[in-house]
Amino acid sequence: MRTRDMAAVAGVLAAVLFGAGCGADGGERGAGAGSGGFGREAAQAEIRAAVAGAGLPKSELPEPGEVTATATPADERERIAQRAAVCTAAWQYIGPVVDGARGKFDRTVEALVGEGWTAGKRSEEKLDDKGGTHVGLTLKKSGWSLFARHSTSKTVAMDMISFQASEDACMNGFSEREMDLLFGEDRERP
C-alpha cells in the first residue's frame, strides 16, 4: 500500500466498519456467540483488552454496532455496511504519530495470540523514503479472521493502527457485488 493510498483506505474502513450507521440488532447472526461460543462481543472484548493492555491510545472512532449520526442507511452501500457490522468487531486509531507504536502494535498482537488467536505470516512494506512502513498480518480464531495493520508515514507524520475482525461464515453470506460495494479496490481478496 502506498502512502497516498493510506488516507483512502482509512476512509473506506472507517465509513464501512465504524461510521456507516450501524445500529446492531442483537438477534442477527454474529451478534452473539458464533462457533464454539465465540461471537462479536467476545471478539470486541478481546480486541479492547489487548489494545488497552499494550498502551495504545484511545480510539475516537465508534465501534461497529454503535449508533452514529447516520443511523438510517441512506443508500445500498450503507444498508450492506449495517448488515456487515453485525459480524464485525474492530478498533482503529488514525492520528498523530504514537511513541512506540510498532512495539505497542506487536504487544497487542501477542495479547491476542495469548487469547487463542493464531497468527499468520507477517508482511512488512516500505512506504516512503523517509522511513514510513506498513505491517500487516491475519489472525484466526473460532471461525473469525482478524486483520491487524499498522502504517506509519513519515511524510505526513501519522499512524494508522487497526484490528478488524469478521466472522467468516457471516461475511461469506455477502455476494461478490456486495463485497465490492463495501470495499471497492481496497478489498482483501483470497
pLDDT digits (tens, 9 = 90+) for 62-109: 776 665 555 677 788 888 888 888 889 999 999 999 999 999 999 999
- Taking CA atoms, 137 is separated from 48, 147, 174, in Å, by 18, 6, 23
pLDDT value of position 28: 41
What is the bridge-based pairing of β-strands 88-96 and 158-167? antiparallel
> What sections of 32-100 are H helices per DSSP?
40-54, 76-85
- 103 is written with which cell numbers? 512495539
Higher pLDDT, 4 or 104: 104
User: Between residues 169 and 154, which one has the greater pLDDT?
Assistant: 169
pLDDT-above-90 percentage for the chain: 50
How much is the pLDDT for 8? 34
**What is the band of 145 on the pLDDT scale with cuts at 50, 70, 90?**
very high
* The three three-digit cell numbers of residue 41, written as one number: 462481543
- Among the ranges given (32-41, 88-97, 133-142), the one the predictor scored with the smallest mean pLDDT: 32-41
**How far is 89 from 84, CA to CA, in rounded Å?**
10
When pLDDT is cut at 50, 70 and 90, the band that residue 139 belongs to is very high
Rounded CA-CA distance 187/185 in Å is 6
Higher pLDDT: 187 or 9? It is 187
**Of 27, 15, 22, which is closest to residue 181 (Cα–Cα)?**
15
